[in-house]
Amino acid sequence: MKNNRELSSNMEDYLEAIVVIKKDKKVARVKDISRMMKVKTPSVTSALATLENNNLVIHEKYGYVELTPIGRKIAEDIRERHSMFRRFLMLILKIDPKTAEEDACRLEHAISPATFDKLTKFIEFVETCPEQETPEWLKNFYYFIDTGKRRFSKKHGEIQNI
């Protein structure tokens, strides 16, 4: 496997589920993955066979599921993208947590590394603004979201209310 872009989003979801379950329960079993992903156990078994063929997991019938070092790296990258999207959607765009979680799940599969890097830097920039509260430009954006109008306009070098 050259990179995780060759994996389907479904296979990425299985890797992510395994890393989440292992973090919570220390071990991952087929039934845990099945429950988390809301799929039947034969679907999990089939997906694990695909992942094992790509050297991303180790799974013996009726045994625990282990991530290979490559599988773990891909799973952690997917989890990081998911987390970053959820933060962006909730903290910056003020999307409700349930919708943010669902959208992050879809978005995590469709972003280039370069775009993800810039999104990460944008979030870090906003979160580390020297102002103690929401930056003024972000407040203006929220006003625009709520009203569809700009709060301020720059005319001839002066800021004026609209």
Average pLDDT, stretch 81-110? 93
Q: Give the predicted TM-score (pTM) of the model.
A: 0.80
Domain spans in the chain, listed from the N-terminal domain onward: 4-75, 131-162
Given this model, what pLDDT does residue 84 score?
Answer: 94
The torsion defined by the Cα of 66, 68, 72 and 78, in degrees rounded to 10, comes to -100
The torsion defined by the Cα of 67, 71, 74 and 75, in degrees rounded to 10, comes to -20
pLDDT above 90 for 86: yes
Average pLDDT, stretch 33-59? 96
Q: How confident is the model at residue 154 (pLDDT cuts 50, 70, 90)?
A: low
Q: How many helices (H) and strands (E) does the chain have?
A: 7, 4
pLDDT above 80 for 148: yes
- Please answer whether residues 13 and 37 qualify as being in contact, where contact means their C-beta atoms are separated by less than 8 angstroms: yes
Structure-block tokens of residue 52: 């094992």
The Cα–Cα gap between 125 and 146 comes to: 23
Given this model, what pLDDT does residue 127 score?
Answer: 84
Structure-block tokens of residue 118: 């810039």
Q: How confident is the model at residue 155 (pLDDT cuts 50, 70, 90)?
A: low
Given this model, what pLDDT does residue 128 score?
Answer: 86
Average pLDDT, stretch 20-27? 94
Given this model, what pLDDT does residue 2 score?
Answer: 41
Domain 4-75 top-level CATH class: mainly alpha
- Chain position carrying tokens 């994996």: 7
pLDDT above 50 for 104: yes
